[in-house]
Amino acid sequence: MRKCCAEPTLLRPLLGILIASLSSGAYAADEPVAADDISARFEAQIRQIEALKRELARQEAALFDLKHEVDLERRGRGVAPTAGSERPVQVAQAQPAQAQPAQPVGQAPEAPDRPPAVAPIFEQPGVLTPPGKWIFEPSLQYSYSSSDRIALVGYTVIPAILIGLIDVRNVKSNSLTGTLALRTGLTNRFELEARVPYVYRFDNTRGREIFTGSAGDDIFTDVDGSGIGDVELIGRYQLNDGGGDSPYYIASLRFKTRTGTDPFEVRSSFLADGARIAAVQEELPTGSGFYSVTPGLTVLIPSDPAVFFGGISYQYSFKRSGVKPNVVPAEAAAVYDEIQPGGVFGFNFGMGLALNERSSFSIGYDHLSVGPTKARLDSGERVPGVRVQLGTLLLGYSYKIDNTRTLNLSLGVGVTRDTPDVQLTLRMPFTL
């Protein structure tokens, strides 16, 4: 921490002392003093007062510059700026007869330690990386979902009577994703991040056909998949200074590649099991198969000891042409002339609360509205799609181990049928 002069207001009592001495020193002596001596002493006192005023103005300007530097450092760390950062008005002074050097009379207090970051429950961090710093963040996420599917194979005479089969399936999906993220701050307001995931998935499907004489469940499919997922590149920029009653606005742009295993590349085969005739994947994909960009805006509102946050985003996926799934036999595959996933509109909000100097707690909600997929076969037939709603309730906890390491744990619970039932995410960012 750099040294600075004492608070300028401490010099103000000196002016009163000099004035008092001026009024008493000239007339309180026992012996009479000549008028010329009184005039000379008075002029000397005036020059000292003027010099003190100039020193006061200089120290006020130096204090402003110091506070401004501290504010830049705090803003780079996502902390609200200090109060009193407005430049003081300079007082016009006469040219000094003899300049007096400034003498430091103390040391400024140490800046308060950085408060613990809000426990992250969304993918985007709330505090930008300071310039010149590197943060390496390994993370591990486990996701589990279970769904029941019922298909009616046959025809109905009346709504209560079915002639045919009732196909009941229970699908349990497990996924484990390890991600290595590296981000750095280029300026006080701009940072870049790269994310490389590794995905392992395992699906188990059980089914039963009623009226076929089967009294138990049969294993229909048991399939897994692993490999590199879709690599992502993200840029974030802080739009304003924030602080005080003003919120922080952070814009972001995410670009997702298709480095993971393509859903249309994995081998699928037609399986006939009783009444079932469908293409079944022999391996699960690890990527989406589409390039996409996601612009977003995050808002942070400090309100000690809590921080309120929220954001909106929109994901746009680029369409593909001439896509042919890897199906066996090949003649059974339908070729897509064009296919494009629907746009994904998302919003989230939450609150973070600092429990003490090392730990914090967060709660929030994240919602994604996935538009219907647009697909057209080479025959000209359009494949209908449906809109899907994904809602997740999130809880997060953060513990600061030391100045370079923080442990973050978050829990997500699905509140809609299409959302994974549970998501557990463990993060450990390191400051390099």
pLDDT digits (tens, 9 = 90+) for 165-204: 455 667 889 999 999 999 999 998 999 999 999 999 998 8
CATH number for the domain spanning 318: value is 2.40.160.40
Measured in whole angstroms, the distance separating CA 68 from the mean position of its chain's CA atoms is 26
- The DSSP H or E segment spanning 95 is none
Q: Is the pLDDT of residue 326 over 60?
A: yes
Total domains present in the chain: 2
Residue 113 lies in a domain: no
Return the structure tokens found at 34: 């000549």
- Last-in-domain residue among 31, 58, 76: 76
Q: Which domain holds residue 18?
A: 8-76
C-alpha–C-alpha distance, residues 83 and 286, integer Å = 50
pLDDT at res. 32: 55
Say yes or no: 142 and 22 in one domain.
no
How many C-beta atoms surround the C-beta of residue 121 within 10 A?
Answer: 28
* Summary mean pLDDT of the chain: 77
pLDDT at res. 391: 95
Say yes or no: 68 and 173 in one domain.
no
Say yes or no: 140 and 284 in one domain.
yes
Mean pLDDT over residues 152-160, rounded? Answer: 47
* Count of helix runs (H) and strand runs (E) in the chain: 2, 21
Residue 29's alpha-carbon distances to 22, 23, 45, 84, in angstroms, are 12, 11, 17, 45
- Identity of the residue numbered 108: A
Say yes or no: 57 and 174 in one domain.
no
Say yes or no: 159 and 58 in one domain.
no
Say yes or no: 71 and 139 in one domain.
no
* 254-284 pLDDT, tens digit each: 999 999 998 988 888 765 554 445 567 788 8
Look up the pTM and report it: 0.68
- Last-in-domain residue among 36, 51, 76: 76
pLDDT at res. 234: 96
* Higher pLDDT, residue 289 or 105: 289
Say yes or no: 302 and 222 in one domain.
yes
pLDDT at res. 193: 96
Residue 129 lies in a domain: no
